[in-house]
Amino acid sequence: MRILGTFISLLVIAGCSGGSSSSPVSTPVLSVTPGSLAFTGQSGNANPASRTISVTNAGGGTLLWTASGNTTWLSVTPTSGAAPSTVSVSVDISGLATGTYNGAVTITSTGATGSPKSIPATLTVGSPPAALPQISLSPLVGGFVLPVHVTHAGDGSGRIFVVEQAGRIRILDNGVVLPVPFLDLASLASPRLVSGGEQGLLSVAFPPGFTTKHYFYVNYTRIQDGATVVARYRVSIGDNNVADPASEEIILTVSQPFANHNGGQLAFGPDGYLYIGMGDGGSGGDPQNNGQSPGTLLGKLLRIDVESGVQPYRVPPDNPFLLSAGYLPEIWALGLRNPWRFSFDRGTGDLYIGDVGQGNVEEIDFQPAGEGGQNYGWNIMEGDSCYPPGTVGCNRADLAPPVFVYDHSHGCSVTGGHVYRGSAFPSLQGVYFFGDLCSGRIWGIRKNGAAWDNALLAENTALTITTFGEDESGNVYVVNYANGELLRIVSP
Ligand SMILES: [Ca+2]
């Protein structure tokens, strides 16, 4: 008892001396963060996640508050309390039409400076998600050997060109695979390319005006060192179905430090320039940091002019980094890991890239027509996650986020596809089809205002999907790398 009494005496003395000398009773000051709230939802979809407001007392003393929302769609919990505290703000979009709604959260404290505080809250309700169409896969023809690319020549012939990894390009003409390959680099006395894994003959692209030009472009990994080669070949005089393997003109060579991640896609954009997908050079995790390095062509999408008459090529005068110190002028976009397949929407000119992930996340990247210069994030990010896994708070400023991601519980490696612009199946109009190499799953995404609708459209396909492809009519195809079959995506 004696000890306790002594303690109480000391506390009373200390309290009296402190209060009387230097600490006047402060006026409570109501302080809240953030100063405004914005919510975005889609009509008919789930409510956006709730947000929080911190209520603090910057002036000392006691602060009691009473919070309230003032609209039918806005609610606040708890509705009263003492600072410091956290207020949760929720919105309910059920029954709301599309549009923008303005409201406010009001926090009041009797006797506090700065009371009441009104925090504006904005709710934007977008269009409802559209149901994506059902699809089925219609087997067309088999017999290809390790097909990796499907395209057309844009020459009115209706021919479909199928690239086989070992070095051949086959022609499918009126449903029949022609016996003689269009191009055969696999049977040369002096082999030119190395094939297997992620190497080989990886794509072909026909320039605008091919009908009169009679030449085309290929991308392959050369046998000496695995470097990427972009080369021009000519069609034989007198036979439009056979090209001359001796006609090669090399356009561009890019050294590859490792055998994997070669990119490999060539495609002419609506601007008539040649776009080239380059992987980060390989290994894992981009050990040379090529994706983010402006001084290498690795880990980039390139844009060059191979049709101006300047040999081997010219850099387009409006490439996005021409005035940026340290950037190679051919760079159109950076931050790519392995953009194995990309394509242009023939209806809009928009660009879609399937960028293969490292170990966790696969992604689809998007570029509105004509707008280059994006940094798609690798290796700061893998898909929508900071990289390496577990990294917190990576700097996402100036990075273009993917428009769709899936993790490795759904597959292993994304294969970019095409936007359907054919006339046979109106319900498929505007859907971008893509899939996964390992799981064979096929998804569709379609732009819906500022949002993207998406759906898993085919599961358990048993396909090993190395590529999609498009014919002159806008039909979209998919291959099975494992058994050499070409299938058409149709409306059931
Ligand atoms: Ca990315």
Instruction: Tell me how far the alpha carbon of residue 131 lies from the centroid of ligand 1, in angstroms.
Output: 27
From residue 452, give the alpha-carbon distance in Å to each of 128, 202, 431, 441, 487.
11, 30, 10, 19, 26
Give residue 6's pLDDT: 40
The three-class DSSP label of residue 113 is: strand
Per residue in 97-136, pLDDT (tens digit) is 889 999 999 999 988 999 999 999 999 888 777 778 999 9
Lowest mean pLDDT among 79-88, 287-296, 430-439: 79-88
Instruction: Tell me how far the alpha carbon of residue 289 lies from the centroid of ligand 1, in angstroms.
Output: 14
Q: 413: closest CA among 478, 346, 480, 359?
A: 359
Phi first, then psi: give them for residue 399, nearest 5 degrees. -95, 140
Instruction: Tell me how far the alpha carbon of residue 299 lies from the centroid of ligand 1, in angstroms.
Output: 11
Query: Position 65: which residue type?
Result: W
| Res 21 pLDDT > 60 | no
Instruction: Tell me how far the alpha carbon of residue 398 lies from the centroid of ligand 1, in angstroms.
Output: 12
Instruction: Tell me how far the alpha carbon of residue 354 lies from the centroid of ligand 1, in angstroms.
Output: 10
Instruction: Tell me how far the alpha carbon of residue 418 lies from the centroid of ligand 1, in angstroms.
Output: 19
Residue 185: Cβ within 10 Å count = 24
Stated as kind and residue range, the H or E segment containing 137 is: strand 136-141
Q: What's the pTM value of the predicted model, to 2 decimals?
A: 0.78
**Domains along the chain with CATH numbers:** 30-126 (2.60.40.10), 136-490 (2.120.10.30)
DSSP 147-199: EEEEEE-SSSS--EEEEETTTEEEEEETTEE-SS-SEE-SS-SS--B--BTTB
Neighbours of ion ligand 1 (CB under 5 A): 376-378
Strands 266-268 and 243-254: unpaired
Rounded mean pLDDT of the chain? 92
Instruction: Tell me how far the alpha carbon of residue 322 lies from the centroid of ligand 1, in angstroms.
Output: 23
The answer to whether residues 73 and 96 touch, using CB atoms and an 8 Å cutoff, is yes
What residues pair up with 87 in beta bridges, in sequence order? 53
Give residue 201's pLDDT: 98
